[in-house]
Structure 1
Amino acid sequence: MPRAVWNGAVIAESDDTIKVEGNHYFPLESLKREYLVESGTHTICPWKGVASYYTIEVDGERNVDAAWYYPDPKPPAARIRGRVAFWRGVKVMPTEQERARRAESPRGLLARLLRT
């Protein structure tokens, strides 16, 4: 199950993520809201629309604007409505399927050979 982790805390965890441009978008109900504070930051993506941000706070440390979402995405990005993605040091742990696929990729095989 993919999960987003920062500063030792699981910020989100769900089997229902959508991957867009390399980012896992987690459903809102999977978020640990106690770690998120609404930010006043907004950015614009030409095809997704206006993004809003959350700052993540864990154990007194802040990761400013480390999560983003599109409250009203444009039609081509409608499937990420109600979902949040992460960056700025938030680690998104891959699913077992992704781990297996990476291990069997040419790059994964080479890495395993070099370790032996």
Structure 2
Amino acid sequence: MSWGGQPLAESTRPRRVFETLLPVRWYLPAEDVTAAPVPSDTRTWCAYEGEASYWSVETGDGLVRDAVWSYRDPLPDAAQLRDPLCFFDERVDVAVDGVSRSRPVTPWS
């Protein structure tokens, strides 16, 4: 994960999550995030995962708002998503196995 060439995270142990009509999401252990997340007041609710908490990330170009989310207390069927951080592919640059992915167009673009 990067922004304008600035690394934000790098992981060899992401969790890949498939969601209907959305791009694959990559959940990373917090230890693999090199950017310093800035807590946000933003919260959203998903009927499958539960309440998401958000963070912004500071870059050389300024703050990328609500670029990262996590489930602190997910619903039982999403227990495996407790604590890992997920970056919006729509808001940061993502490369998987060295291959850059294009930014998807979704309601969060």
Could you tell me the TM-score, scaled by structure 1's length?
A: 0.73
* Structure 1 alignment gaps of length 5 or more: 100-116
Match of 1:11 among 8, 22, 29: 8
Identity across the alignment (%):
34
2:46 aligned residue? 45
- Secondary structure in 1 matching 2:56: strand
* Alpha-carbon distance in structure 2 between the residues aligned to 1:95 and 1:41: 31
Moved >3 Å (runs of 4+): none
Q: 1:23 and 2:6 equivalent?
A: no
Asked whether the equivalents of residues 35 and 57 of structure 2 are also in contact (C-alpha less than 8 Å), the reply is no
Per-residue deviation, 1:9: 1.5
2:34 aligned residue? 32
* Structure 2 alignment gaps of length 5 or more: 19-23, 100-109
Per-residue deviation, 1:77: 1.0
Root-mean-square deviation (Å): 1.5
* Alpha-carbon distance in structure 2 between the residues aligned to 1:70 and 1:59: 27
* Alpha-carbon distance in structure 1 between the residues aligned to 2:11 and 2:79: 19
Look at both structures and tell me which one has the larger radius of gyration over its CA atoms.
1
Asked whether the equivalents of residues 40 and 66 of structure 2 are also in contact (C-alpha less than 8 Å), the reply is yes
Q: 1:92 and 2:94 equivalent?
A: yes
Asked whether the equivalents of residues 24 and 92 of structure 1 are also in contact (C-alpha less than 8 Å), the reply is no
Asked whether the equivalents of residues 48 and 74 of structure 1 are also in contact (C-alpha less than 8 Å), the reply is yes
Q: What amino acid sits opposite 1:5 in the alignment?
A: S
1:74 aligned residue? 75
1:16-52: CA deviations, max 9, x gaps? 1011121100011111243x10101000000100000
Could you tell me the TM-score, scaled by structure 2's length?
A: 0.78
